[in-house]
Amino acid sequence: MTEPTFRPASLDDAELAADLMTAAYPAFAVDPVLTRYRWAHPRKDWTYVGFIAEMSGKAIAFVHWMHGPPEQDPQRHCEVVVALDRSRLEVDLLTDLWRWATEQATAGGSQMLEAYAAEDEPEMLEALGRVGYARDRLEKVWELDLGLHGASLVGDAEQERAQAEGAGYELTTVARWEAPMKFEALHSLDSLTRKDIPTTFPILPETFENFMDRLRSPDRPHDKWWIAVRDGNPVAMSYLRFPPVRGQVWTGYTCCHPEHRGRGIARAVKLQSLAQAVALGVPYVYTDNDSENAPMLHINERLGYGPRPGLIALLKRVQK
């Protein structure tokens, strides 16, 4: 079999990389505009490395890895991705790609590598097992049929908005909310609540500048980013990600300040974003949650989300 060759991916390869990632798992297409935006706005002091794998002069896969600043994460927990065009899907080829990417990432000093594979990707799971990755966690993936559940969601959104406002919460969008230092306040809420996400890898702090980069991403319009405000402070938020070219609409993030949990506020703001999607004619909305995130799993089940094949996180520990 011809051995693949690798060339470094540049910013101009963003569309090609998005095409390869889409061809690797067509069920969830990757948007080229968003891929380029993310490549152009990396997190401060993070290391991102990407390669285009080619065979006989034709691009067949996108391979990349990333890790945070070593001073914040001495083990350099590293996420590794191999996206092989399904038209070239062979376990031996996948194994070679994963082995190469793993060796390259390890050479950069990473001691813990993480990879993801969908539950319905047996070839990917076999290749990862051959290279020494072992199952760690399960990220549950959900699909919400807005054609089936739209009317009830709109009704629930109106009812829960009235209840939240009666309890002293204002439900509005980031675009409509006029407050000094509002983006700093949203950054604080985001940073605080992400500490509660179940994870094996450390969740490293995000600078305000990088948070603003995410806030300006083309898939996150501020008139569709819902927040709950109490006493002038944002205490919950939920937003959907709308890809500008292709792909599904996903829940970007839903959270609630610890002091305001247990009052249905996270559900109320999430319902506002879903009711808005119904009005826009969005057919389906997708979301994912760690299998240990019981509060969000409960919300999803009550809203009518149905399960899809989940994402399995696999780890490889590197001996130093």
Express each pLDDT in 169-194 by its tens digit: 999 999 999 999 999 999 999 999 99
pLDDT band at residue 167 using 50, 70 and 90 as cut-offs: very high
Mean pLDDT, the chain, whole residue set: 94
pLDDT at 291: 62
pLDDT at 304: 85
Beta strand 47-55 with 58-67 is antiparallel
Q: What is the mean pLDDT of residues 96-111?
A: 94
25 alpha carbon, distance to own chain's centre: 15
pLDDT at 1: 62
pLDDT at 319: 73
In the chain, where are the structural domains located? 5-132, 141-308
pLDDT at 198: 76
Identify which has the larger pLDDT, 134 or 195.
Answer: 134
pLDDT at 320: 61
Task: Give the Å distances, CA to CA, from 137 to 2, 64, 68, 287, 289.
Answer: 35, 21, 20, 17, 11
pLDDT at residue 292 is higher than 70: no
Q: What is the mean pLDDT of residues 120-127?
A: 97
Express each pLDDT in 142-157 by its tens digit: 999 999 999 999 999 9
Q: What is the mean pLDDT of residues 228-251?
A: 96
Express each pLDDT in 259-291 by its tens digit: 999 999 999 999 999 999 999 999 999 998 876
Nearest to 115 by CA among 131, 107, 28: 131
pLDDT at 256: 95
Topology alike, domains 5-132 and 141-308: yes
Q: What is the mean pLDDT of residues 296-302?
A: 75
pLDDT band at residue 295 using 50, 70 and 90 as cut-offs: confident
Is residue 23 within 8 Å of residue 87, measured between CB atoms?
Answer: yes
Q: Out of 3.30.200.20, 3.40.630.30, 1.10.760.10, 3.40.640.10, which CATH number does the structure's domain 5-132 have?
A: 3.40.630.30
Strand, coil or helix: 85 = coil
Beta strand 58-67 with 5-8 is unpaired
Q: What is the mean pLDDT of residues 55-63?
A: 96
> Domain 141-308, what fold?
Aminopeptidase (3.40.630)
DSSP 4: P
**Side chain identity at residue 269, one-letter code:** V
